[in-house]
Amino acid sequence: MAVDSRWLLEQFQTVFGGCSGDEVWISRAPGRVNLIGEHTDYSGGFVLPVAVGHDVAIVFRPGTDRIIRLYSCDYRQMSEFCLDRILTSTDAPWSNFFRGVAWALSTHESPDGGLNEGEDRGSNNCEIEYELIGLDAVISGDVPIGAGLSSSAAFEVASAFALLAAAGMDTVILNSLESECGLNARRRIALACQKAENLFVGVSCGIMDQMASCMGKAGHAIYLDCRSLRHEPVELGLDNADAVIVVYDTGVRRGLVDSEYNRRRQEVETGAKMISGILRRSDVHTLRDVDFATFQAVGEMLPSKVARRCEHVVREIRRVENGVVALRQGTLDTFGDLMWESHESLRDLYEVSCPELDMAVRIAHETDGVLGARMTGAGFGGCTVNLVLRHALPDLVRALPGKPMRPGALEPRVFKIDVADGAKVRRL
């Protein structure tokens, strides 16, 4: 899919004029689907997302002043701010993601907060030097908003690439998914985007979404250590098994800032502190530091709700590790079994599913040729991700509901995922 660059350039010309002989660029960043490892990222655990062929694209022209002028084709709204005084907007809340990234990049602080002393922060041999300048930009995306495919991270990462390219950063480095300097730049960009969402927008997200949008590789999942930010592409082997990844968007939306996402994060952080105190172990910083045997020994000493949340995270981290082994061995049926287990845990222990998500997973389970399915994303609505043998795809599509399942919900839809590369920027 992806946003059509020619169409977006036409929108830019309509809004801002010019272009003939102008320095006009386009940045793109993909959304993501997390195959397994849900709600583990903010506990420093492992995740296994893929970047998808749905993205947010920004056509932009560097300016000569400090003014950022944005036009959203999707919201049909203009928003403007000065880099010298970056404030949130109540009139155009969509613009706060771009504003937040500009704010995070403007601080010129090393955006590596949250990593523990002595842990791998990526190479520091390639310093990122830049001075942000103003720009004119039009924005559009085809990542479903509020569906759990991380349209916000895609917007943030595309914004960062646009701002840095406009500021004159070497695009060879920005676009590299192989070189040490390129990977270091992408880690820093991901961290700056997370900082923007945490501190400017006000969502306590982990690092997975931004890293997946930056580090995605076609045909591969990204095995990401959310503590060290080390990542490894893992070949999916879908063609060998004649299988596809399918997303079912239930059409049920939730406001992430106003949901219980932040509460879940507080509960697992509380659990980790309590376990550290019970064990008298100063080395337990997050649930990443707690294996299942240890959790079993102390779980009954925790409040029941906190214990359930912690059990999900501890088990889910292990499921990611087992899932990577299954992919490397080419056993997609084993990987699918882990997906079923993950959904049950998210439904019963973490309690972030909803009736529509549960129904979609149940239908998938009853459809021959579906190897695994689970809710994906923060929960309380959004999408399921399904691992499906290609011949079974028509049966699954027919079985899943095609009409809104509650008042106010959007029409559900099914789409096959193309596993894509991470963000890029280029001159038009």
**Reported confidence tier of residue 112, pLDDT bands at 50, 70, 90:** very low
Percent of the chain with pLDDT over 90: 83
**Reported confidence tier of residue 33, pLDDT bands at 50, 70, 90:** very high
Q: Answer for the pair 251, 409: CB distance below 8 angstroms, yes or no.
A: yes
What are the residues whose beta carbons fall under 8 Å from the beta carbon of 255, sequence distance 6 or more?
146
pLDDT digits 0-9 by tens, 357-372: 999 999 999 999 999 9
DSSP state of 236: -
What are the residues whose beta carbons fall under 8 Å from the beta carbon of 406, sequence distance 6 or more?
252, 356
Instruction: Please give the pLDDT value at position 128.
Output: 61
| Nearest in space to 309 (alpha carbons), one of 287, 331, 326, 327 | 287
Residue 185 has pLDDT above 90, yes or no: yes
Residue 209, CA atoms < 13 Å, CB-side half-sphere: 31
Residue 290, CA atoms < 13 Å, CB-side half-sphere: 35
Residue 259 has pLDDT above 50, yes or no: yes
CA 211, CA 187: separation in Å to the nearest integer? 7
Query: Does the active-site annotation cover 209?
Result: yes
Mean pLDDT of 296-300: 95
Instruction: Please give the pLDDT value at position 2.
Output: 86
Instruction: Please give the pLDDT value at position 20.
Output: 61
**Reported confidence tier of residue 255, pLDDT bands at 50, 70, 90:** low
**Reported confidence tier of residue 379, pLDDT bands at 50, 70, 90:** confident
Mean pLDDT of 15-36: 89
| Nearest in space to 131 (alpha carbons), one of 167, 79, 92, 183 | 167
Residue 127 has pLDDT above 90, yes or no: no
CA distances from 307 to 100, 143, 288 (A): 35, 35, 15
Structure tokens at 52: 């998808």
Structure tokens at 234: 């893992």
Residue 293 has pLDDT above 50, yes or no: yes
Instruction: Please give the pLDDT value at position 144.
Output: 78
147 or 59: which leads in pLDDT: 59
**Reported confidence tier of residue 113, pLDDT bands at 50, 70, 90:** very low
Of the residues 209, 225, 249, 289, which is catalytic?
A: 209
Residue 21 has pLDDT above 80, yes or no: no
**CA angle (141 as vertex; 128, 262 as ends), nearest 5:** 75
The full set of domains in the chain, from first to last, is 5-236+419-427 (3.30.230.10), 239-416 (3.30.70.890)
**Reported confidence tier of residue 22, pLDDT bands at 50, 70, 90:** confident
Write down the mean pLDDT value for the chain: 91
Among 110-119, 199-208, 285-294, which is the least confidently predicted range?
110-119
CA 125, CA 120: separation in Å to the nearest integer? 13
Q: Answer for the pair 275, 290: CB distance below 8 angstroms, yes or no.
A: yes
